[in-house]
């Protein structure tokens, strides 16, 4: 695990999956954040949220730009591992019992129908719509009872950032087992009902944000504005951190 831009990232995919498997052998629960540009921006503007993002096992890097920034500043090469990729990797692994929580029933129904093509065991798993409310208003003990009764190993959460990360941190104390992973738009991507991922050529060219702007202009333009507003400061701080570590031998 490495810390860049104040976020604790794990870039090694083998270590990510091994850490999940190991955590499931231990008592209690934990969570993984899928850190895209929105989370990077929000976490570095709000210390309490940054503590929540770093309070789980680690974050995976959902941003295609963060590896570019790291390469420019440090000369190190890392790869993006986005939420939709880890989501499908775990679905296709056939290793775990899972529960899917969040979003609307229509999206959940579409998601269940499509995931059964990848993993037939999904038909026996629960897809639970969570009511639309403030993050402080959820019945966390009641939600934990649903998960505990189900016996799920992986708890997928899709409420959108920053809500889903706060939700996981609040639910964690009530769970005795399981790894929660917040995957944001992945439910929509694989439900066949709403927003789809960008074509591969756009992803390779770091242009997925353009695709999402066309699909959800008001929402995505607002997010991009916030990210661009904080980016110069974050790059400068990381460059200064590199210089300090070089001078002190760290």
CB 48 within 8 A of CB 213: no
The sign one gets for the Cα dihedral 15, 16, 18, 20 is positive
Residue 98 maps to a domain: yes
pLDDT tens digits, 24-43: 999 999 999 999 988 999 99
Residues near 66 by Cβ (< 8 Å), separated by ≥ 6? 4, 5, 9, 35, 37, 40, 78, 80
Give the pLDDT band of residue 184 (cuts 50, 70, 90): confident
Average pLDDT, the chain: 88
Cβ atoms of 50 and 73 closer than 8 Å: no
Mean pLDDT, residues 35-62: 94
With respect to residue 13, please indicate whether it lies within any of the assigned structural domains: yes
Question: For the chain, what is the domain count?
Answer: 1
Q: How far apart are CA 182 and CA 236, in angstroms?
A: 29
CA 248/CA 181 separation, integer angstroms: 36
Nearest by Cα to 118 from 97, 96, 153, 90: 90
Domain boundaries, position 75: 2-192
Tell me the pLDDT tens digit for each residue of 126-176. 999 999 999 999 999 999 999 999 999 999 999 999 999 999 999 999 999
Lowest mean pLDDT among 73-87, 147-161, 209-223: 209-223
For residues 200 and 153, which has the higher predicted lDDT (pLDDT)? Answer: 153
- Asked if residue 201 belongs to a domain, the reply is no
Per-residue pLDDT at 210 exceeds 60: no
Q: What is the pLDDT of residues 224-243, one digit of tens each?
A: 566 666 788 888 989 898 88
| 161 inside domain | yes
More confident residue, 95 or 219: 95
- Quick one: pLDDT at residue 69? 92
Confidence of residue 107 (pLDDT cuts 50, 70, 90): very high
Point out which residues pair with 177 in neighbouring strands: 28
Burial of 218 (0-12, 13-18, 19+ CB in 10 A): exposed
Q: Is 240 a domain residue?
A: no
Domain annotation covers residue 16? yes
The answer to whether position 15 is within a domain reads yes
Helices vs strands, H then E, count in the chain: 12, 8
Residue 157 resides in a domain: yes
Confidence label for 64 from pLDDT (cuts 50, 70 and 90): confident
**113/246: higher pLDDT:** 113
């Amino acid at each position: 695990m490495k810390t860049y831009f104040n976020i604790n990232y794990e870039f090694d995919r083998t270590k990510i999956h091994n850490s999940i498997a190991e955590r499931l052998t231990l008592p209690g629960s934990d969570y993984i954040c899928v850190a895209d540009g929105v989370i990077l921006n929000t976490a570095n503007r709000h210390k309490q949220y940054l503590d929540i993002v770093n309070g789980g096992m680690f974050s995976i890097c959902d941003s295609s730009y963060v590896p570019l920034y790291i390469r420019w500043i440090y000369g190190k090469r890392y790869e993006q591992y986005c939420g939709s990729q880890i989501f499908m990797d775990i679905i296709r692994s056939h290793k775990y019992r899972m529960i899917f929580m969040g979003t609307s029933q229509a999206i959940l129904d579409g998601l269940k129908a499509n995931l059964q093509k990848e993993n037939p065991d999904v038909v026996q798993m629960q897809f639970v719509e969570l009511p639309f409310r403030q993050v402080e208003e959820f019945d966390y003990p009641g939600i934990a009872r649903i998960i505990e009764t189900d016996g799920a190993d992986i708890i997928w959460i899709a409420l959108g950032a920053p809500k889903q990360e706060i939700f996981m941190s609040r639910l964690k104390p009530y769970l005795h087992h399981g790894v929660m992973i917040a995957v944001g738009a992945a439910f929509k991507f694989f439900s066949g009902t709403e927003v789809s991922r960008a074509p591969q050529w756009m992803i390779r060219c770091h242009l997925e944000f353009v695709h999402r702007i066309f699909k959800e202009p008001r929402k995505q333009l607002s997010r991009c504005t916030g990210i661009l507003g904080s980016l110069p400061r974050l790059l400068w701080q990381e460059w200064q951190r590199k210089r300090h570590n070089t001078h002190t031998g760290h």
